[in-house]
Structure 1
Amino acid sequence: MSSRDGVFPDDVIVQVLARLPVKSVFIAKSVCKLWYRLLSDKYFVQLFNEISAKNPMVLVEISHPLESKSRLLCVDYMRGVNELTLEFINDRVKVRASCNGLLCCSSIPDKGVYFVCNPMTREYRLLPRSRERSVTRFYPDGEPTLVGLAGNLFTQKFTVVLAGYHRTFGHRPDGTFICLVFDSDLNRWRKFVSFQDDQFSHMNRNQVVFVNDTLHWLTRTCSCILALDLDCDLWRKISLPDEVRYGSGNRVNLLELDGCLSVIQISDAWMKIWVMKEYQREEWHMVDRVSLRCIKGMVPGVFPISQNGQYVLFATHKQVLVYHWKSRLWKEMYSVKNTSTLPLWFSAHTFRSTIFSCN
């Protein structure tokens, strides 16, 4: 990149501006023609997203019994707590999945209506309705058991997955597992049917991880990870570490760590963090073992939500905590001041601030 007398070289400007929040980047575009050109370039967008991907956050929906709308908070280890809004969608929605800065939201008053949005850029896209009738599509209540969102930052393409047990009207579910996949490039749904006998708890459904063009969910019994390969519409099972699979009295959560699958195993006294270093060979390595003595009273209600190589962010009933790997210190990032109807971990998602267009 070029340099000019009395000003910084273009590459220095780009490196500095790529570390700003998304809102500040859009403001910076109006400073001058040079900055507008630099910040509109694909190189800048890719650089910004690469840097943002290293700073995972926690997004929580906080509801109040006296308020009709819930609040959406973004807890950022680097920048603190910020309130976001989804009012630009012009519908009452619930966040169902999050991936690389995009959110998949379902309409609360209108079942079967889904949106994908970027709350930082305030863009959204209404997904076309599937031809499947909701009352015969999923069991129970016509709602999908699993909702997954896969967002590729390089291609700027996203995929939405709705999966659940099928039932014909007036009958019990027949054991078949219907999967609907929305392709943002083709702007249409495709459908395939398989058989799954695995069950999912709320946290297992909430914590879906997108790695290697595959969406991953942890089964309720922690017997395995259920993975959907989006390139070939194929479900497969991935083994967990033996210590995790056969451990008793432990709570297990599925996360991502620097582009790899990771599981965090929590017992009364210890937290163990595992990473799958070799995806094809399914080789797991334990990368940390942390004493939980200093948060002993909180352990039953602590759920890991997101992490990177420096810290892990957790949601409890009323708090968001951070554990810093190097210093081995715990810190409270946020605490609910009023009465929330649900624990924070019930509606917590990992989040990143990206320049990702959903249109």
Structure 2
Amino acid sequence: MGFIPDEVIIQILARLPVKPLFKTKTVCKLWYGLPSDNYFIRLFNQESAKNPMVLIELIDSTEPKSSLIFVDNPRGVSEFSLDFLLEKVKIRASCNGLLCCSSIASKGVYYVCNPMTREFKVLPRYRERPLTHFYPDGDAMIVGLASDLSRNKFNVVLAGFKLTSGHRQDGTFVCLIFDSDSNKWRKFVTFQEHNFTHMNRNQVVFVNGSLHWLTGSYSYILTLDLNYDVWRKIPLPDEVRYGTGNRVYLLECDGCLSLIQISDTGMKIWVMKDYERELWHMVDRVSLRCIKGLVHGIFPITQTGEYVFLASHKQVLVYHRTSRVWKEMFSVKNSGTLPLWFSAHAFRSSILPCE
């Protein structure tokens, strides 16, 4: 293969999935060193960002470890495992190829891992009184993961209302932030009202150096600026904020904040193309007549400008925005106690170290 320029080979390898890429390390010295080369890592991560996936955590109480299903539009369905972790865990957040997982057996134990490279880090224990517990996870009220590919670092955020000895909220909203650079937690406290539900508290989006959550009232987006440890609110479009009978979901679309608004008959996609001025634009209207029987149970998981992945009670669907075609990508064969969207996460493959 000496007649093929190295740069062409690098461009080809940067488009491989992680597992086949790591198998090529035995070919020669050049290929062996690519997964640890900064230029190649940036190139690989840029290419992977164009191909988001849906990660489904298959939980079986009789099995010691959780198994993962990745639903990939061009490559179909593949199975992975978290058996490289030390114990059985629950996935709490996903961002740019990393997962934040909490221990099921030991409260307060968190892992950050890359399921593709099978690397992981156990976060140091934090010292804090219990925060609000919430069904079905029974852990901190909201969990966020910010994976910054440009700086090779990550942050984990745990936030919730502090509980008194009588297990009541005292109005103190506590935020704990783990920084991978310092390997330490930091804490700040505010006194404010935030309304989260099981539908949106962990559907968190990392954009522009901040984490974003949609509040339960659909009145605003709660934003945490990780550079300054400041909470702020971003208003929703008036049509969304004052609309009735619609469900609203917060996603990311090609590096921008996005909202998907679902009614009985249609789906509207909004994108904030000007983040500084907080200007929303409606970029698409989608008829839901083709999936009429599933409308009340669908939950958008991830998207690009080309397609949208949605989870229902037992299926993962993909909608191609150009062709206007729906396709079923995955279906659960057994009967689960919770809808599929409880265990579905947006995911993008990356080569990002956890240490």
Among 110, 130, 150, the residue aligned to 1:137: 130
Among 340, 343, 347, the residue aligned to 1:347: 343
The residue correspondences of 1:272-287 to structure 2 (distance < 5 A) are 272-287=268-283
Aligned-residue CA RMSD (Å): 1.4
2:227 alignment partner in structure 1:
231
Among 48, 52, 59, the residue aligned to 1:52: 48
How far residue 70 of structure 1 moved from its aligned partner, in angstroms, is 4.0
Give the Cα–Cα distance (whole angstroms) in 2 for the partners of residues 318 and 171 of structure 1: 35
Instruction: Give the letter aligned to residue 328 of structure 1.
Output: R
Cα offsets for 1:318-339 (capped at 9, x unmatched): 0000000110000000001111
Q: Give the conservation status (yes or no) of the 8 Å contact 1:323–1:331.
A: yes
Instruction: Give the letter aligned to residue 3 of structure 2.
Output: V
2:89 alignment partner in structure 1:
93
Matched, 1:334 2:327: no
Give the Cα–Cα distance (whole angstroms) in 2 for the partners of residues 156 and 104 of structure 1: 16
Matched, 1:7 2:3: yes
Give the Cα–Cα distance (whole angstroms) in 1 for the partners of residues 268 and 235 of structure 2: 17
How far residue 40 of structure 1 moved from its aligned partner, in angstroms, is 3.3
Matched, 1:314 2:310: yes
TM-score of the superposed pair, with normalisation by structure 1: 0.95
Cα offsets for 1:228-260 (capped at 9, x unmatched): 000000000000011110110000000000100
Give the Cα–Cα distance (whole angstroms) in 1 for the partners of residues 61 and 242 of structure 2: 40
TM-score of the superposed pair, with normalisation by structure 2: 0.96
Give the Cα–Cα distance (whole angstroms) in 2 for the partners of residues 289 and 7 of structure 1: 49
How far residue 341 of structure 1 moved from its aligned partner, in angstroms, is 2.2
Q: Give the conservation status (yes or no) of the 8 Å contact 1:137–1:178.
A: no
Equivalenced residue count is 352
Change (3 A) 1:126 1:56: same
Q: Which runs of 5+ in 2 are unaligned?
A: none
How far residue 71 of structure 1 moved from its aligned partner, in angstroms, is 2.9
How far residue 64 of structure 1 moved from its aligned partner, in angstroms, is 4.3
Q: After alignment, is 211-220 or 142-151 more displaced?
A: 142-151
Give the Cα–Cα distance (whole angstroms) in 2 for the partners of residues 129 and 266 of structure 1: 40
2:188 alignment partner in structure 1:
192
Q: Give the conservation status (yes or no) of the 8 Å contact 2:95–2:347.
A: yes
Matched, 1:19 2:27: no
Secondary structure at the counterpart of residue 202 of structure 1: coil
Instruction: Give the letter aligned to residue 275 of structure 2.
Output: Y
Give the Cα–Cα distance (whole angstroms) in 2 for the partners of residues 68 and 203 of structure 1: 27
Q: After alignment, is 95-104 or 84-93 more displaced?
A: 84-93
Q: After alignment, is 66-75 or 46-55 more displaced?
A: 66-75
How far residue 38 of structure 1 moved from its aligned partner, in angstroms, is 4.1
Matched, 1:179 2:175: yes
Q: Give the conservation status (yes or no) of the 8 Å contact 1:65–1:340.
A: no
Instruction: Give the letter aligned to residue 300 of structure 2.
Output: P
Q: Give the conservation status (yes or no) of the 8 Å contact 1:14–1:39.
A: no
Change (3 A) 1:171 1:328: closer
Among 213, 217, 229, the residue aligned to 2:213: 217
Give the Cα–Cα distance (whole angstroms) in 2 for the partners of residues 131 and 334 of structure 1: 41
Q: Give the conservation status (yes or no) of the 8 Å contact 2:70–2:77.
A: yes
Q: Give the conservation status (yes or no) of the 8 Å contact 1:97–1:148.
A: yes
Query: Percent sequence identity over matched residues?
Result: 67
How far residue 280 of structure 1 moved from its aligned partner, in angstroms, is 1.0
Q: After alignment, is 167-176 or 277-286 more displaced?
A: 167-176
Give the Cα–Cα distance (whole angstroms) in 2 for the partners of residues 248 and 198 of structure 1: 21
The residue correspondences of 1:193-272 to structure 2 (distance < 5 A) are 193-272=189-268
Q: Give the conservation status (yes or no) of the 8 Å contact 2:65–2:83.
A: no
2:293 alignment partner in structure 1:
297
Cα offsets for 1:31-63 (capped at 9, x unmatched): 011222444321111000001011111111123
